[in-house]
Amino acid sequence: MHIALAAVTWDPQIRGAVIVLTGVLILMGSVYMLLATNVGAKVGFLLALAGLTGWLVLLNILWLIGGGLGSIGYKGVAPGWVTKEIVTGDLVQNSTLKAITGSPGNPSSAFPNGWTVLHTGSPLLASASPSADTALTPPAAAVPGAPAVPARAFPAPFTTTADYVQVAAYSKGGHNYLFNLFGYKVFWRVRNHFIYLKHQPKYVLIRVQPSLPSITLLGGATTLPAADVTKPIYTVVLAHDAGSLRLPPILIGLGSLLIFGLTCERLHARDKALQRAKAAESGAPPGSPSRPAGELQPA
């Protein structure tokens, strides 16, 4: 017993789970207990479940309106860049991605055909560069007590970001469309807003080269980093992950709506059964209007 209490006290994850579970049992259990003592265990359970799921439907609608970006709400995976591969030397010969190598027997579909050059200051390049730097350099030392850093699929070829210089960047894809009709992508735009169901993969290539050592002349400024043209070029291939920020609210809201509808249907069926039973006892046909309370009746 003491060991279990010590584990709950020491581990914040276990303690947090126990606190949440206790709160759920107290809040939901107290409501169910009050309903069960007044209307019975079965009907009280249906009423409590209908109220809970109806509240969850409204709550998830608010989360969806916020786009999953607010301070509250159950969020999914945020959008970001995923490292697909790090290629050293010739990109087309050493790459394994079809977006780079192109179709077999069709050299015109290989890189750089179909790729757009990204110039310095491009917003797309600015959003992808931190992910490329993360892939090219080793992770920081683990902090005691912090979550373990997952192992990387590609070893980092450099030690710091000062060891290389960016020499080129390209992008391809990212055109979302409504659906694919016999090999043709159908687009639909309402004013300046595109309506789409499909995501076309978006790739960004960032090419770097080892840098020459900086030189500081006496009385002069330090030279800017320059690429060492005698060293091979490293290419980081990044793919954009659209994420799933709105997926959890959608799934929870739809599931809650389904349970809410089922519980309301059961409650409605119970009311109809009670009405039929009362009509059978009084001899009146089901659905006939009853006499108002307090009306005088003949002896």
pLDDT averaged over 10-residue windows placed end to end, the chain, 299 residues: 56 76 83 89 92 92 69 80 92 90 85 91 93 90 60 84 92 79 71 72 93 72 77 94 85 95 94 89 64 53
Separation between Cα atoms, residue 81 and residue 203, nearest integer Å: 9
Q: Would 167 be classed as within a structural domain? A: yes
Q: How many CB atoms lie within 10 A of CB 193?
A: 8
| DSSP letter assigned to residue 162 | G
Any idea what the Cα angle at residue 56 is, between residues 52 and 62, rounded to 5°?
150
pLDDT at 44: 92
Same domain assignment for residues 190 and 236: yes
Could you tell me which of 82, 58, 62, 81 has the C-alpha nearest to residue 70?
62
| Statement to judge: residues 41 and 102 lie in one domain | no
Instruction: Tell me how far CA of residue 155 lies from CA of 138, 147, 163, 283, in angstroms.
Output: 8, 20, 15, 84
Looking at residue 45, what is its pLDDT?
92
48 and 109 assigned to the same domain: no
- Pair (115, 199) in one structural domain: yes
Distance CA 161, CA 163 (A): 5
Report the number of secondary-structure helices (H) and strands (E) in the chain: 7, 9
Do 162 and 20 reside in the same domain of the chain? no
CA distance 58 to 47: 17
- Statement to judge: residues 189 and 226 lie in one domain: yes
Q: Are residues 172 and 206 in the same domain?
A: yes
Q: Is residue 144 part of a domain?
A: no
207 and 95 share one domain: yes
Query: In total, how many domains does the chain have?
Result: 2
pLDDT, position 228: 86
47 inside domain: yes
Phi and psi at 136, nearest 5°, equal -85, -15
Amino acid found at 158: F
Q: Cα dist. 265→6, 102, 205, 257, 273 in Å?
A: 47, 56, 55, 12, 12
**pTM score, two decimals?**
0.69
Largest CA distance in the chain: 122
3-class DSSP state of 117 = strand
Give the domain range for residue 11.
Answer: 2-74+248-282
DSSP secondary structure of 132-155: HHHHHSPPPPPPTTSPPPPPPSS-
> Could you give the residue ranges of the DSSP H alpha helices within the chain?
2-10, 12-39, 41-65, 91-94, 98-101, 123-136, 247-282
Q: Are residues 123 and 70 in the same domain?
A: no
Q: Chain centroid to CA 294: how far? A: 61
* Confidence (pLDDT) at 150: 65
Residue bearing tokens 């030189």: 215
Based on the fold, state whether residues 253 and 269 are members of the same structural domain.
yes
CA dihedral 220, 222, 225, 231 (to 10 degrees): 80
Is residue 194 located within the same domain as residue 226? yes
Tokens at 249, concatenated: 């609210």
CA distance 137 to 157: 7
Asked whether residue 291 is assigned to any structural domain, the reply reads no
190 lies in a domain? Answer: yes
Q: Please check whether residue 268 lies inside any domain of the structure.
A: yes
Alpha-carbon dihedral angle through residues 54, 55, 61, 65, given to the nearest 10 degrees? 160
Q: Is residue 123 part of a domain?
A: yes
pLDDT at 199: 74
Within-domain flag for 230: yes
Do residue 105 and residue 183 come from a single domain? Answer: yes
